[in-house]
Amino acid sequence: MNNGRVTIPTDKNFVDGTKKYVRLWGADAVRDCDGTQLPENARSLAGKVYKTYFLARGNNEWAYAHDECLQNAALMSDRVLAVSERLSVDPLAHYSTEQLALNEESVSLWQVYDRTAGQEIGSWRYDEKSKRVEVENAVPMHEYTVNFFAKILWDATQIYNYKTNGWTIAKDRDIDPVYPEAFALMERDLKAWLEENKDVTVVRFTTFFYHFFNIYDDKDRVKYFDWFGYPMSASPAMFRLFKEKYGYDIALEDIVDEGYYNNHFRVPRKAFLDYMELLESFVAKCVRHFTDIVHAYKKEAMMFIGDNWIGAEIYGKHFAEMGLDAVVGSINSGATLRMVSDVAGVNYREVRLLPYFFPDTLREDGQCTKELQDSWVTERRALLRRPVERIGFGGYLRLADKFPAFTRAVAALCDEFRSVLAKIAGQKPYSHVKAAILNAWGKKRTWMTHMVLQDACYQHTTFYLGLLESLSGMAADVEFVSFDDALRGGLAGYDVVINAGDADTAFCGGNAWLDPALCEAVRAYVHAGGGFIGIGEPTAAPAGGSFFRLADVLGVDEERSLSMSRYKYNRDVCRSHFITEESGGGFDCNGGVQNVYALDGALVLGKKTEQRLGVDIGAFHVKLAANVFGKGRAVYMAGYKHGARNARLLLRALLWAAGKEDTLRRAFSDNEGTECNYYPESGLYALVNNTDSRADTTFYDIEGNSRKVSLRPYELKWVQT
Amino acid sequence: MNNGRVTIPTDKNFVDGTKKYVRLWGADAVRDCDGTQLPENARSLAGKVYKTYFLARGNNEWAYAHDECLQNAALMSDRVLAVSERLSVDPLAHYSTEQLALNEESVSLWQVYDRTAGQEIGSWRYDEKSKRVEVENAVPMHEYTVNFFAKILWDATQIYNYKTNGWTIAKDRDIDPVYPEAFALMERDLKAWLEENKDVTVVRFTTFFYHFFNIYDDKDRVKYFDWFGYPMSASPAMFRLFKEKYGYDIALEDIVDEGYYNNHFRVPRKAFLDYMELLESFVAKCVRHFTDIVHAYKKEAMMFIGDNWIGAEIYGKHFAEMGLDAVVGSINSGATLRMVSDVAGVNYREVRLLPYFFPDTLREDGQCTKELQDSWVTERRALLRRPVERIGFGGYLRLADKFPAFTRAVAALCDEFRSVLAKIAGQKPYSHVKAAILNAWGKKRTWMTHMVLQDACYQHTTFYLGLLESLSGMAADVEFVSFDDALRGGLAGYDVVINAGDADTAFCGGNAWLDPALCEAVRAYVHAGGGFIGIGEPTAAPAGGSFFRLADVLGVDEERSLSMSRYKYNRDVCRSHFITEESGGGFDCNGGVQNVYALDGALVLGKKTEQRLGVDIGAFHVKLAANVFGKGRAVYMAGYKHGARNARLLLRALLWAAGKEDTLRRAFSDNEGTECNYYPESGLYALVNNTDSRADTTFYDIEGNSRKVSLRPYELKWVQT
């Protein structure tokens, strides 16, 4: 198959060029982009025509006339110090008043908190004239905050484009489907649009209703940015639905969360989980209404993963109810590819590849060609585990046209992509092990743990995003399991359970580990023969004399200045171990958590660091350790960094923890710069060279028979045995 | 005064040599040491004769015959995993059975804890035959521990000497004065000893009763070592006294503390504080009985600070009741000198200087002379602030005699020491500021915060021990204030309050900061014009939306993976500030706490580190920051390291926080390798060169008049203006 599965951008001023690349790249779909318009007869260019559609924004005439139907945000004011018993707070201080206005009709829902005492207080009133909250009976030297609703005056994504590109068009206002008039308008507008856009075959929803949490400050700078955040979905009307559904009141504090806004690093609490469920079911119901209309027009409905996607959780239990045909996401890694490709409940999944065809990304033919290829081999690892059905590009096609090596490389990439799909043909690849990533969120945050913006990296999260990246392309089945799942027997059937995260986060688990039942469940699983891998501060929650609650399972604990009087003698490094066999005894854990020491019986792996924990009461920082617990095994890593060497070490750690060391050299490529995937149904092996230089390797088939293979730079070679 | 104030070791085989050094060093006291014996007519050598006396050990005949009067230790067993409903625990597993035996008469006080559930359980019995605790109805996959009393069979200090030196003498058993027969024996033995030792003028108690927590394991290795620990003072009899005094039962868990044993990094809880008070008053009462006897024999009673010193808290409120004439302590820093010299309630204080005259410390004349001088200038800083009345040496005098440069240097040191005492003559030196170190312990841990063994250094504590060291010799009044003091108005009168420590420790304060009243008290103090310096994780306790509870005062907070979505824009470094004026804008904080960011309004000082906190949501690690809060000021330091440059920076930070920048160049020596102390009553200035090379400096008198001064290596120069 030399064409299909590829979407390219087009423009009404580049029709002949579009035809050229439809042919050269085998594209079967064209799309509009920010700053381009579809040609008149787009259908003549390709079988599929995508067009972006906004449900919640676009009809500014109506939105500006219906203030009462605008979307809201649940926000917290600055922290203000009381210096006397009277205190005056401007809730919107340091917020962008271009983006936000106080929702003065909602004052009865506002809250004032004494953050020093940790209490809500009642002695306050809102002064409409000054637009300030006046607090009485304040305690001097306590800090106070106001929780309030603000109306959103400007679509958050548009603010970015507008400010960046110096736009002067009208500012889009987002309307809220929770109000029947707004919902009815959305329906009318969509139908009209569908009538107008006969040529369009795929309605690319960008996205549905509620924007991720993205608030600006009074200096036109981003104030909060949380790609997963829900505060911009909340409203007095949604709170009323909450009461109707659950029988209890939700408060602004349940969303505001001391100013942490329930970002997904926070251990989620019941009211917020109920709120998410409410929102997801509400969004699903609304979206279904619109996808039914799209289908009535014989078009497909595609969801863009991003922007106003809040509530449309792609791994939530209401996702399939939305009746979508497809999802499309912008990706920049193996983990983000898997985030799209593992989505269930749609007919096909598409990813937008890098680089975008923009002037700042396509500068020089060699540079952009290299960038394309490097991104591709990164993402190809994940693709070979679980492919998306389609790929695409964005930006200005006329710009790409200036770079001949680049456009040739795109053509080769598209061919390789199609060949992968053809070869795999829906087969499940062979896995050495089946692994569960255990945290507070489980399935809902599949391939999304530790992300702030897709896989944008925060220093704290590099270990864990690196872990996801390595796993995304590894010959291992990876699933995401919640603590609740674990408590209901959900660990059965996994070879290895992974708990990775910083203390006090939802991904480590924080106080979830104070539940003895969770400790029991995981200990019982390992004790009976399961594998466990902890990264960072796994199972951390100080209680009962240890910091890691499963220190006994892991064979390590973290010194938190409270047990320095306990001597630590387990300091000898085991220099010969299955896990470190190919790394020369080393492990680059990217710094890693400090002050971790080994308990008696554990094996300290990796080279010794020079930094000692003390003069007499000494122990060095453990970076990597292995421990036997009952019939099971555990591995601890103080940190992690994605790379060929560590990915191999991680695979070995998974195998060791699972007690499956003997399967390493089955469906395996020896050179660490290469990898092998095996498709049992067809008997095909995909050997990939992930490096930009020639790689000689020893290939082992599933029976363990080996032979030498040589791979060109970046090569994907199919081997049939 | 060319003699006096100096104690030297003697030996019955080195009498003429002793006479030589009495003359050369101007010694007025001789002492015995481990491995030496006093000569017959020791009194003919010097006016004062010290002899070591053990109250609790030495009469092994009696101790071996009175098992019921031995001391006990409150201990916790290993953590043992239940794999079924029955569990058998050997309480003494992994403990030294040479040191410990189960106290089987105390079984009714033992406790079994489910450490996974955090609950004491009742379904267990002790099996005398197997000497094991048998637990029933255990929950599989929970960890259990047994709290128990063990009898101490061997004095902990002797174990060390015995094992180190291959001794074969009888193993000393410590008896407990809580038993009237043991107390009576101590009295009889002391009286007999006093009768026998007519020549002795100073009874050097080493020490009284209860050893600091020092337990060995089953491989002859130290298992726990806590110079401040109380578990070896506990006993069933002491628990009965507790009930009588307080009307409620103390449990083993109140001492065992989840296996943390209430080491002084733990935030202390009520029952343990009550226990300390009980023990201190008990020890004081007993000691007073014996000091009265010593005085009846016209001798002096001196306490060695160490070994069996538990309960004899030198800054406790019962200390003065003991009727001691003197204390003596082994020191190795300015901070440990101050720990001795600040003690009140005795007639004189003495310190043992380094190096000891031992074969492993006196190896080569140049080396030991340098070690002597370096130690001395370190300690001299503190001496000039608050002198001890006496100094002394320990070890084998005959060994020192082999090193002529060394013995000459000792002579010079003794002369310099005597001159310091003569010049200071009880005057209080001038201080730029009055500072309070605020923590859970306050006065009781004066100059002892963050120590595990005197000032033995654990990696976590280097910041804080460095702080103490710098302060010990700085022209600042330093006092130690507890949170309770602060709540009772105790911050009044201080120019600067310092909170320094790791989160969750008594020295930071941990949950003490959840008390709004404490936040109020400190905020009010700063807001009204006070200074505040936070080092490490000051005021840390996650609540109300911040990690540092006084983030508003400090101008910084620590990112704990929960507020990554908040953008942090305060990243510009202020390159010109009073605090960093002499450090070239730099600050070596020895690594320091990571992930601290500046709030809006704070000034980030110190050079920017390259390591960023994130790609977009970025902030670098703040190492040093300054903030204005109301009329007051705060300084944050992520870490600290003692040294000339940092001590100067710290002094500047104290002055800036106190709003007293203009007093810097008063009674001041400009060269950072030098320091100045001023004694207002006499108008004398002590200029010291803390370095081993010549130092040119500008000296400023109290009026600010300056002149050039040149100091020889290590020189102490007295200047009269």
Task: Tell me the percentage of chain B whose pLDDT exceeds 70.
Answer: 97
Write down the pLDDT at residue B477: 98
| Set A32, A174, A226, A307: catalytic member | A307
The model's pLDDT over A444-473, given as tens digits with 9 standing for 90+, comes to 999 999 987 755 556 678 899 999 999 999
Among partner residues A524, A544, A612, which is closest to B459 by beta-carbon distance? A612
* pLDDT for A225 beyond 80: yes
Residues in chain A within 8 Å Cβ distance of B117 = 516
Closest chain B residue to the Cα of A142, Cα to Cα: B520
Q: What is the ipTM of this complex?
A: 0.95
pLDDT tens for each residue of B583-604? 888 898 888 888 899 999 999 9
Residue-wise pLDDT for A708-720, tens only, equals: 999 999 999 999 9
**Sheet-wide strand order for A476-482:** A476-482, A433-439, A496-501, A531-536, A632-637, A624-629, A603-605
Task: Report the pLDDT averaged over residues A185-202.
Answer: 97
Residue A291 has phi, psi (to 5 degrees) of -70, -35
Query: pLDDT-based confidence at B168, cuts 50/70/90?
Result: confident
Query: Is A611's Cβ below 8 Å from some Cβ in B?
Result: yes
pLDDT of residue B615 exceeding 50: no
**Least confident range of A13-22, B3-12, B132-141, B610-619:** B610-619
Please indicate whether, in this complex, the C-beta atoms of A615 and B456 are within 8 angstroms of each other. yes
Give the separation between CA B532 and CA B552, rounded to whole angstroms: 12
Give the confidence band of B447 by pLDDT, cuts at 50, 70, 90. Answer: very high
Nearest chain A residue to B458, by CA: A614
A720 close to B (CB below 8 A): no
With beta carbons under 8 A apart, name residues in chain B contacting A263. Answer: 562-565
Q: Residues of B numbered 572-601 whose beta carbons fall under 8 angstroms of chain A's beta carbons: which are they? A: 595
Q: Does B3 touch chain A (CB under 8 A)?
A: no
Interchain proximity B545–A260, CB inside 8 Å: yes
Partner residue opposite A225 with nearest CB, options B224, B514, B567: B567
| Per-residue confidence band for B569, with pLDDT thresholds at 50, 70 and 90 | confident
Q: What is the dihedral of CA B174, B178, B179, B182, to 10 degrees?
A: 40
CB interface of B with A, residues 509-548, below 8 Å: 514, 516, 519-520, 523-524, 527, 542-546
Share of chain A above pLDDT 90, in %: 88
User: Strands, DSSP E only, in B340-450?
Assistant: 348-352, 390-392, 433-439
Contact at CB, B613 and A459, closer than 8 angstroms: yes
With CA atoms as reference, the chain B residue closest to A212 would be B565
For B223, nearest residue in chain A (alpha carbons): A567
Q: Which long-range contacts (CB under 8 A, 24 or more apart) does B45-51 make?
A: B45/B10, B45/B15, B45/B18, B45/B19, B46/B22, B47/B201, B48/B7, B48/B201, B48/B202, B49/B199, B49/B200, B49/B201, B49/B202, B50/B7, B50/B200, B50/B201, B50/B202, B50/B204, B50/B302, B51/B197, B51/B200, B51/B202, B51/B203, B51/B204
pLDDT of residue B181: 97
- List of chain B residues whose C-beta atoms are within 8 Å of the C-beta of residue A222: 567, 616
Q: Which residue in this structure is represented by tokens 């004065």?
A: B177
A&B contacts, CB < 8 Å? 222
CA of B561, closest CA in chain A: separation in Å? 7
B376's tokens: 């001395």
pLDDT digits (tens, 9 = 90+) for A406-435: 999 999 999 999 999 999 999 999 999 999
Contact A565 B266 (CB under 8 A): no
Per-residue pLDDT, A608: 56
Q: Is the pLDDT of residue A590 over 90?
A: no
E strand spans, B361-482: 390-392, 433-439, 476-482
Residue with tokens 């101008």: B555
Residues in A closer than 8 angstroms to B502, CB to CB, are 560-561
Is residue B184 exposed (0-12), middle (13-18) or buried (19+ Cβ within 10 Å)?
A: exposed
List of chain A residues whose C-beta atoms are within 8 Å of the C-beta of residue B139: 516, 520
Out of A145, A460, A613, the one facing B561 most closely (by C-beta) is: A460
Torsion of CA B578, B581, B586, B587, to 10 degrees: -50
Return residues 471-510 of A near B (CB < 8 Å): 501-505
Helix H or strand E segment including A100:
strand A100-102
Q: pLDDT per residue over B240-267, tens digit each?
A: 999 999 999 999 999 999 999 999 999 9
* Whether the predicted pLDDT of A610 surpasses 70: no
Query: In chain A, pLDDT over 70 holds for what percent of residues?
Result: 97
Residue range B344-361, pLDDT digits in tens: 999 999 999 999 999 989
**Distance (Å) from the alpha carbon of A27 to chain B's nearest alpha carbon:** 34
Q: What is the mean pLDDT of residues A13-39?
A: 93
Mean pLDDT of B519-527: 98
Q: Do A562 and B265 touch (CB under 8 A)?
A: yes
Contact across the interface for A564 and B461, Cβ inside 8 Å: yes
Q: Token digits for B366?
A: 């140049």
Give residue-wise pLDDT tens across range B486-502.
Answer: 999 999 999 999 999 99
3-state per-residue secondary structure call for B559-612: CCCCCCCECCCCCCECCCCCCCCCCCCCCCCCCCCCCEEECCCCEEECCCCCCE
Asked if A324 and A288 count as a contact pair (C-beta separation under 8 A), the reply is: no
Contact in structure between A156 and A211 (CB atoms under 8 Å): yes
CB of B552 within 8 Å of a chain A CB? The answer is yes
Tokens of A303: 């969801």
Q: Using the beta-carbon criterion (under 8 Å), do A504 and B560 form an inter-chain contact?
A: yes
Under DSSP, the state recorded for A259 is: G
* Segment among A558-567, B309-318, B360-369 with least mean pLDDT: A558-567
Is B701 marked active-site? no
In this complex, which of B260, B527, B546 lies closest to A562 when CB atoms are compared?
B260
Q: How far is B679 from chain A (nearest CA, A)?
A: 38
Place of tokens 């009985």: B289
Residue A395 has pLDDT above 50, yes or no: yes
Cα→Cα distances B447→B266, B350, B468, B534, Å:
17, 16, 7, 17
Chain B neighbors of A615, CB-CB under 8 A: 456-458
Residue A2 scores a pLDDT above 80:
no
Identify the residue among A217, A459, A548 best suited for mutation to test binding to B, counting B beta carbons within 10 A and taking the highest: A459
Task: State the best of B141, B514, B568, B627 to mutate against chain A, taking most chain A CBs within 10 Å.
Answer: B141
pTM of the model: 0.96
Taking the Cβ of residue A83 and every Cβ of chain B, the question of whether any pair is shorter than 8 Å is answered with yes
| Structure tokens that stand for A106 in this block | 């909602």
The answer to whether A565 contacts B140, with C-beta atoms less than 8 Å apart, is no
**Domains defined for chain A, CATH in brackets:** 56-164+173-181+206-290 (2.60.40.10), 433-663 (3.40.50.880), 668-720 (2.60.40.1180)
Sheet holding A695-700, edge to edge: A668-669, A695-700, A706-711
The shortest CB-CB distance from B565 to any of A79, A226, A612 is to A226
The verdict on a CB contact (< 8 Å) between A452 and B564 is yes
Which residues of chain A lie closer than 8 angstroms to B630, CB-CB? 83
| Least reliable range by pLDDT among A71-80, A271-280, B456-465, B654-663 | B456-465
What is the DSSP track for B120-182? EE--EEEETTTTEEEE-SPPTT-EEEEEEEEEE-S-HHHHHHHHHHT--SPPP--B-TTSHHH
- Confidence (pLDDT) at A480: 98
Nearest residue in chain B measured CA to CA from A455 = B615
By mean pLDDT, which of A420-434, A577-591, B452-466, B522-536 is the weakest? B452-466
Identified catalytic residue from B11, B155, B254, B307: B307
pLDDT tier for residue A199 given thresholds of 50, 70 and 90: very high
Cross-chain residue pair A225–B559, CB shorter than 8 Å:
no
pLDDT band at A616 (very low <50, low <70, confident <90, very high): very low
Distance between CA atoms of residues B238 and A199, nearest Å: 91
- Using CA atoms, how far residue B426 sits from B384, B680, B718, in Å, is 11, 12, 16
Structure confidence at residue A617 (pLDDT): 40
Average of pLDDT values for B267-278? 97
Give the residue-averaged pLDDT of A9-23: 95
**Helices and strands, number each (H, E), in chain B:** 16, 36
| Cross-chain residue pair B263–A611, CB shorter than 8 Å | no
* pLDDT score at A454: 59
Query: What SS3 class is residue A181?
Result: helix
Q: Assess B118–A contact: CB distance below 8 Å, yes or no.
A: yes
